[in-house]
Amino acid sequence: MSAPSENMPMAVSAARAKPLLLRHLPYFIGAAVLVALAATIQFDGYILNILMEATTFAIAVFGLSVVLGLCGQINLAQAAFFGLGAYAVGIGTSDYHVSYWFCLVGGCIIALLAGALLGMSTLRLGGHYLAMVTISFQQIVTLVMINTIWLTHGPDGVSNIGRPALFQSAQSYLAFCVGMLALVGYVVWHLSDTRLGRAMRAVRDNELAAGVVGIDVFRTKVSAFALSAVLGGLAGGLFAGGFAYVSPDQFSFAESVVFLTMSLLGGVASPIGSAIGTGLLILIPEWLRFLKSVPGLYLAIYGLSVILIIRYMPDGIWGFFNLATGRWRAKAKLRGAGPALRLAPAAVAGDNVLEVKGLSKHFGGLKAVDEVDIAVRRGGVHALIGPNGSGKTTTLNVLSGLYKATAGKVVLDGTDVTEMPPHQRAAAGLGRTFQNIRLFRSMTALENVVIGAERPGNALVGHGEDALNERAMSALTFVGLGSRANELISSFSYGHQRLIEIARALAANPTLLLLDEPAAGLNSSEKLELHELLKRIAAQGLTILIIDHDMTLVSEAAQHITVLNFGRRIADGESMAVLRHPDVVSAYLGSD
Amino acid sequence: MDLALQLLFTGIGIGAVYALVALGFVLIFRATNVVNFAQGEFSMVAAYLMVVFAVDLGWPYWLSFLLALAGMALLGAIFNLGVYYPLRHRTFLPVIIATIGASILLANSVLAIYGPQPQVLEGWFETPGIQLGPVYLDSQYLLIIAVTIVLVIFNYWFFEHTMLGKKLQATSQDKEMASLLGISVSTMIMITFIYSAVLGGLAGILVAPVLFVSIQMGSTIALKAFAATIIGGFGDVAGAIIGGLALGIIETFGAAYISVPYKDGFAFLVLVLFLVFRPQGIFGERVAEKA
């Protein structure tokens, strides 16, 4: 926490970034060269097949890097989605003589629908469910491929699969696939810096916090899962055209495992890792062909590799390489500090920004919160205090939508938010921090705050990445950490992590800020700085509802105090009067 | 009607196997908060151990049985040390991926050793079964049901009335508090893995004469058992048993009246229906993460 002297804008480095496509030009030039090479070099049939396999598999593995790497959700049915795309192109072009392009798109749509349905039925639940459901789905798809003989030709498979007229020769088709690979690779690589990609990473890092900053967690997960399924379907369609023959055993659970191993080996978080993993796991078995003569042996080795990679190299080869070379790579350029942070809390309703009436939360027979009324006046600091176990944090969790209220009503600035999930409350103007800090730990401080600034309904941030970054820099500078914006969360002290969490909430320009024990774990000088910070926030007219045990902080900062004990409100009013209230004194100190 | 009774008997028999494996799932889940995706492979490995001892080596059935269970106890311990224990402080995703890796390793190692041909294991009894009115009671199914009943009772007695059982329960409810009370949490988790491996192995040995002994039996049984735990309510012991029985019955009737090739698909259908309409299962309660 340093003095606000670094609020001085650094005008030079704030120069506008070059247009995105221009900055990424080297990538496209490289991709064009690869396509040209694939189209012109004469390969023999064996090499051509390996390249075709590697190219199409890599696209399917890119799908895993989205769902598993970016979003942290497991998909053990990638081979099934791959198979859906492959069979769509296979059956469509061979049996029904439909245009290749139509079949390719159709296969992607089928995979998309299957993925979306599967995701929607499962993703509200924990990850174990998803793992088992995807395995089950994989088995079902295999069963259907083998048993619906009238459609799929059963175990015989589909042959004579067509290619588009434009790419009839194997060589030109390979060039087309390499082009698709480059395109998909670009999308996946770029995805992580888009709003959706950031949302996925936030969900992976901390689901609860993601919801509270305004991300629709369920929709984000379903999008990731569906996108992964589409990439599987696309890859399968390309694969079918490349090999002209498909059969059920190519899309079995074993193949899903191969995809998973490729993804983990290379590094699940990045498309470069996916490409490395895919390349290695296609080449290595070719070199070690003798392994394939014993059925099961190479898959057993894959299984063992999965265990070893997870234990010793959780970020894969690419992650390991990145870590090793990290100190030589240039640090991302620090952005300008941005203008001084402006807060303009919405003011729609009357004097009270938050009205809570008869709020109850029961866990079975336990009445954690019991018919509590709170009215928070606009502007200033309102404190919610009470001894341990009095229901303060439960109240905050009900207010922010993490728990569903058993009874009662919560009105935020004129909007009834009682039935809303957390991300909609964030959109309605609620910001909060957590007692046990919940930041997105794999990201930089700046990225954390950018996600805050992206709150739906934030009127203070303009369009585009630059506006978001500027807003986030302003917020970080406001809490005194602007100069360390590009550092990872893990390199900050506990106290600074609290400040980043506050900055994340401020960047969203909330109508009401809920602070859950912000002083817990801070030393005395940090507490003083926190107090100063609260004053500067309140000075801009943002209302704060704070829970804390530090009576000095509460009595100095808050104008109004509500006291809970055993889930019930025992006192409420102007702070000095409340702190002298006999019930409050006896709740804290005991009575005779 | 006669057919229905016959199917009901078969369904309960096969459901009892799912229930035993599901019980293993639930015990490990309660102790470690992680689903062990290799639970089904425990059944498969045990069935193959029986084939090695009783068929290939020709040792007496009871001796092979005991040796196979001892082998499963050893496998459970190795599994804990090699797969779960090193990852115990990581989030659930790496752990389940590791157990999936272990499942692939186990299934394909057996495939590499034994080849893809299914093996045949004789039942425990010489008598194939008895006719009771309209229903033919297969002796192996009777054995499965009897063993399951005994195990459920044993399980109840063990967890509710022995010190070790209570320590295991304490560990599954609150590891930190348990360790403060002097319970060795890592020992308790080790015992849980061994016990679950033995349970899974027992299920595999019992069901082997009914099905063929094959590489796929592990993953098939595991899927059914997992579906059973969801139907019953995740993490609930009674739920796992009832869910297993229900699934066995549904599947047997589905195969008889609807479609044989899609027999294994019914579990998935029931699973998805429960996930959509009643994800907490028959007995379970939804639990929210603490903020």
Helix (H) or strand (E) holding A365: none
How would DSSP label each residue in A493-560? -HHHHHHHHHHHHHHT--SEEEEESTTTT--HHHHHHHHHHHHHHHHTT-EEEEE-S-HHHHHHH-SE
Residue A136: which of B104, B116, B271 has the nearest Cβ?
A: B271
Which ipTM did the prediction report?
0.85
Confirm whether A592 is domain-assigned. no
Domain assignment of residue A520, yes or no: no
**A285-298: average pLDDT:** 77
Residue in the structure block whose two tokens are 């062990």: B36
Mean pLDDT of all residues in A473-478: 93
Q: How confident is the model at residue A439 (pLDDT cuts 50, 70, 90)?
A: very high
Percent of chain A whose predicted confidence (pLDDT) is above 90: 50
Looking at chain B, the whole-number percentage of residues with pLDDT higher than 90 is 26
Q: What mean pLDDT comes out for the span A12-23?
A: 56
Q: Are residues A178 and A49 in the same domain?
A: yes
To the nearest whole number, what is the mean pLDDT of chain B? 86
Alpha-carbon distance A297 to nearest alpha carbon in chain B (angstroms)? 5
Statement: residue A591 has pLDDT above 80: no
Closest CA to B206 of B270, B278, B124, B83: B124
State how far the Cα of A553 lies from the Cα of B53, in Å rounded to an integer. 73
The answer to whether A147 contacts B261, with C-beta atoms less than 8 Å apart, is yes
Q: How many CA atoms lie within 13 A of A285 on its CB side?
A: 21
Residue B272 maps to a domain: no
**Chain A residue with Cα closest to B235:** A128
Is residue A195 one of the residues assigned to a domain?
yes
Tell me how long chain B is: 291
pLDDT of residue B82: 92
Mutation site, A73, A74, A123, A128, interface B, largest B CB count within 10 A: A128
pLDDT at A551: 83
The DSSP element (H or E) to which B25 belongs, if any, is: helix B2-32
Cβ neighbours of B150 (radius 10 Å): 10
Average pLDDT, integer, range A470-474 = 92
Total number of domains in chain A: 2
- Asked if the model's pLDDT at residue B136 lies above 70, the reply is yes
Distance of CA A380 to the CA centre of its chain: 34
| Total Cβ atoms within 10 A of residue A29 | 10
pLDDT confidence band for A112 (50 / 70 / 90): very high
Residue A4 pLDDT grade (very low, low, confident, very high; cuts 50, 70, 90): very low
Q: Do A128 and B92 touch (CB under 8 A)?
A: yes
d(CA A156, CA A137): 22
* pLDDT tens, position by position, A312-324: 888 888 888 888 7
Q: Which of A140, A303, A400 sits opposite B108 (nearest CB)?
A: A303
Write down how long chain A is.
592
Average pLDDT over residues A450-459: 89
How crowded is residue A443: how many other Cβ atoms within 10 Å of its Cβ?
Answer: 18
How large is the C-alpha radius of gyration of chain A?
A: 28
What number is the average pLDDT over the span A157-170? 91
Could you give phi then psi for residue B162, rounded to 5 degrees?
-115, 155
Quick check: is A415 in a domain?
Answer: no
Asked whether residue A70 carries a pLDDT value surpassing 80, the answer given is yes
- Which pLDDT score, from 0 to 100, does residue A12 have? 36
Q: Is residue B60 in some structural domain?
A: yes
Question: Are residues B5 and B206 in contact, defined by beta-carbon separation less than 8 angstroms?
Answer: no
Q: Give the residue from B35, B10, B1, B23 showing the smallest Cα distance to B236.
A: B23
Does B224 fall in a domain?
A: no
A to B CB pairs, distance under 8 Å: 140
Residue A484: pLDDT above 60? yes
Confidence of residue B124 (pLDDT cuts 50, 70, 90): confident
Q: Tell me whether residue A502 is in a domain.
A: yes
B129 assigned to some structural domain = yes
B chain contacts of residue A146, beta-carbon cutoff 8 Å = 261
End-to-end, the C-alpha distance of chain B in Å comes to 54
Nearest to B92 among A127, A132, A403 (CB): A127
Taking 50 as the threshold, does the pLDDT of residue A302 lie above it?
yes
And the tokens for B242?
A: 């009832």
Residue A154 in domain: yes
Here the tokens at position A491 are: 């390199």
Question: pLDDT tens, A512-564?
Answer: 999 999 988 888 888 888 999 999 999 988 999 999 888 888 888 899 999 98
Q: A276, A311, A328: which is the final residue of a domain?
A: A328
Cα B241 → chain centroid: 10
Nearest residue to A145 via CA among A253, A229, A259, A247: A247
Share of chain A above pLDDT 70, in %: 94
Q: How far is A301 from chain B (nearest CA, A)?
A: 7
pLDDT for residue A407 is more than 60: yes
A36 contacts: CB under 8 Å, gap ≥ 6: A175
User: What mean pLDDT is predicted for residues B139-164?
Assistant: 88
Chain A residues lying within 8 Å of B268, measured CB to CB = 133, 136-137, 139-140
What confidence score (pLDDT) does residue A11 get? Answer: 37
Sequence-distant (≥ 6) Cβ neighbours of residue A401 within 8 angstroms:
A211, A212, A417, A420, A421, A422, A424, A425
Nearest chain B residue to A301 by CA distance is B105
Least confident of A281-295, A560-574, B192-206: A281-295
Arithmetic mean of pLDDT, A305-311: 89
Structure confidence at residue A18 (pLDDT): 61
When the pLDDT of each residue in chain A is averaged and rounded to a whole number, the result is 88
CB contact under 8 A, A136 and B223: yes
CA distance B128 to chain A (A): 32
User: Under 8 Å CB-to-CB from A229, ≥6 apart: which residues?
Assistant: A63, A75, A81, A111, A112, A114, A115, A116, A118
Helix (H, G, I), strand (E, B) or coil at A487: coil
Side by side, the strands of the sheet bearing A366-377 are A366-377, A352-363, A407-412, A415-416
Residue B154 lies in a domain: yes
> Domain total for chain B?
1
Which pLDDT value is given to residue B131? 81
pLDDT tens-digit map of B220-255: 888 888 888 888 887 778 888 899 999 999 999 988
Residue written as tokens 């950018």?
A450
Residue of B nearest to A293 (CA): B112
Question: Distance, in angstroms, between B241 CA and closest chain A CA?
Answer: 19
Give pLDDT, residue A331: 59
Q: If pLDDT is split at 50, 70 and 90, which confidence band does A327 have?
A: low
Record the tokens describing residue A124, joined without a space.
């509200």
> What are the residue ranges of helices labelled H in B115-259?
139-161, 163-173, 175-180, 185-207, 217-232, 237-257
Residue B233 belongs to some domain of the structure: no
Confidence of residue A132 (pLDDT cuts 50, 70, 90): confident
Judged by CB atoms closer than 8 Å, whether chains meet at B271 and A133 is answered as yes
Tell me what the mean pLDDT of segment B158-186 comes to.
Answer: 85
Q: Which one is predicted more confidently, A198 or B289?
A: A198
Burial A483-522 (b: 16+ CB within 10 A, else e): ebbebebeebeebbbbbbbbbbbbbbbbbbbbbbbbbeeb
> Does residue A66 sit in the same domain as residue A185?
yes
Crossing angle for the helix pair B163-173 and B139-161, nearest 10 degrees?
80
What's the rounded Cα separation, in Å, for the pair A278 and A51? 11
Closest CB to A136 among B98, B111, B268: B268
Closest alpha carbon within chain B to A268: B94
A384 within some domain: no
Q: What was the pLDDT predicted at B290?
A: 39
Q: What is the CA radius of gyration of chain B?
A: 19
**CB spacing of B83 vs A307 below 8 angstroms:** yes
For A20, A73, A257, A489, B177, the CA distances from A319, given in Å and listed in that order, are 25, 19, 21, 18, 37
State the residue range of the domain holding A456.
Answer: 439-510
pLDDT score of A333 = 66
CA distances from A264 to A54, A65, A72, A271 (A): 16, 9, 12, 11
- Select from A307, A312, A436, A516 the residue whose CB has the most chain B CBs within 10 Å, as the one to mutate to test that interface: A307
Domain carrying residue B27: 2-214
Is pLDDT at A283 greater than 90 in this prediction? no
- DSSP H or E segment with residue B95: helix B92-114
Q: What pLDDT is stored for residue A241 in this prediction?
A: 94
